[in-house]
Amino acid sequence: MKKILLFFIFIFIIQINSQLILGQRGYSCEMYLFSSNGDSSGYTDFILEAESQIWNSCSSCGGHDHLCTLTNDFRYILFASENSKNGQYALGLDFVTDTTGHQVFAYGKYKLTVENWYIYLDFRDNRYGYYDHYGSPVGHAVDIWIMFDHLSRKFYINSVGYQPPWTLVPNGTVVNIWELKEMGNPSTTNFEPYAPENLSVSLSNGKPSLNWEHHSPAEDYWIGYKIYRCITIDNEQPSNYEEIAEVGKNTTSYLDNNLCFANWKNIHYKVKTINTNEDSEYSNTVQINLTEEIINCNLMLNNDLIV
């Protein structure tokens, strides 16, 4: 039985060299990168760099209900594959979770570059890693194999393994993981959205009026916003916020008409961005001090009508 010798070395910013002779998929790796027909005395540097926001995966969740949280990690990976004239060498990256010291990529859009040639890899589908098609023609639920050929200066990709057939990926092409794995349209309902920014409050016809901004609509996934309020007396610190409203994704303002009080003076607000299954962190908190009572409204508080 043929023995396959595996050597793994990975680089994060600082280059470390390694090789994996093809023939057996290493445990825990989900992306395999190969160089072929290169100078046997050198190495091929691969750069995987984020082109979008990156999301990690909730470690306590599983299956299709897992949530994806914003992260600043996994944005830049530099690694090298040893070239060979007589064979191909590879190394692997882990997806989201690393248990063996490998470098990690996550949910997001990446640019993969070798010298002056590049392709894009888009993993912005929160089902990725949980695709249910083991043994199907599109291969393993996670794994992909990418080869750069030095003679043709072209990238090739394979969803099943390191053996042919390989699919040519022209320079500058975007490879969507959901299309490669034949999973239809991507799902983005579990991606944590950005928190609202620059929340402010002012009075409009005697009522608190809120305004905020969205962080980066071009690369975010959200369906709306939740508004929270806390009313305090004098110098009391706000603590128990209650949700008072939910507005759609195209709304970045709110007029608090549902506000009645007699002696309360300090009104505190904060806002969250919401996706279908995941909310953002809170925005900044704002406060407005009202010097006059708001009256002529009908609000039930502890079963008592406040007027």
Among 183, 122, 188, 189, residue whose Cα is nearest residue 157: 122
Beta bridge partners, 95, equal 105
What is d(CA 107, CA 54) in angstroms, rounded to the nearest whole number? 6
Closest to 162 measured CA to CA, from 24, 5, 26, 28 = 24
Q: What pLDDT score does 167 carry? A: 95
What backbone phi and psi angles, to 5 degrees, belong to 63?
A: 65, -160
Please give the pLDDT value at position 133.
Answer: 58
Residues paired with residue 43 on neighbouring β-strands, in sequence order: 82
- Given this model, what pLDDT does residue 292 score? 58
Cis amide linkage into residue 170, ω under 30° from 0: no
CA dihedral of residues 93, 12, 3, 89 (deg, nearest 10): 90
pLDDT of residue 80: 74
Spacing of C-alpha 130 from chain mean position: 15
Query: How would you classify the pairing of strands 31-36 and 144-149?
Result: parallel
DSSP summary character for residue 259? -
The CA-atom distances, in angstroms, between 219 and each of 37, 51, 124, 254 are 38, 10, 10, 24
Non-local CB neighbours of 129 within 8 Å, separated by 6+ positions: 30, 57, 66, 95, 96, 141, 142
Give residue 22's Cα distance to chain centre.
Answer: 31
Q: Residue 66's pLDDT is what?
A: 66
Q: How far lies 250's CA from each of 24, 64, 286, in Å?
A: 50, 28, 21
Query: What pLDDT does 91 receive?
Result: 67
- pLDDT per residue as tens, the chain (307 positions): 433 333 332 322 223 233 332 333 334 578 988 888 877 767 888 999 999 999 998 654 444 456 899 999 999 998 777 676 555 556 678 888 766 677 899 999 999 999 999 999 999 999 898 887 544 566 677 889 999 999 999 999 998 888 888 999 999 999 999 999 988 999 999 999 999 999 999 999 888 999 999 987 667 899 999 999 998 887 788 889 999 999 999 999 999 988 766 555 789 999 999 999 999 999 999 999 876 555 444 444 444 444 3
The token duo for 263 is 């002696």
SS3 category, 45: strand
> Looking up tokens 């009908």, which residue turns up?
298
Instruction: Report DSSP state, residue 294.
Output: B
Given strand 144-149, what is the order of strands in its sheet? Answer: 104-105, 89-95, 31-36, 144-149, 154-158, 167-169
Which pLDDT score, from 0 to 100, does residue 139 have? 66
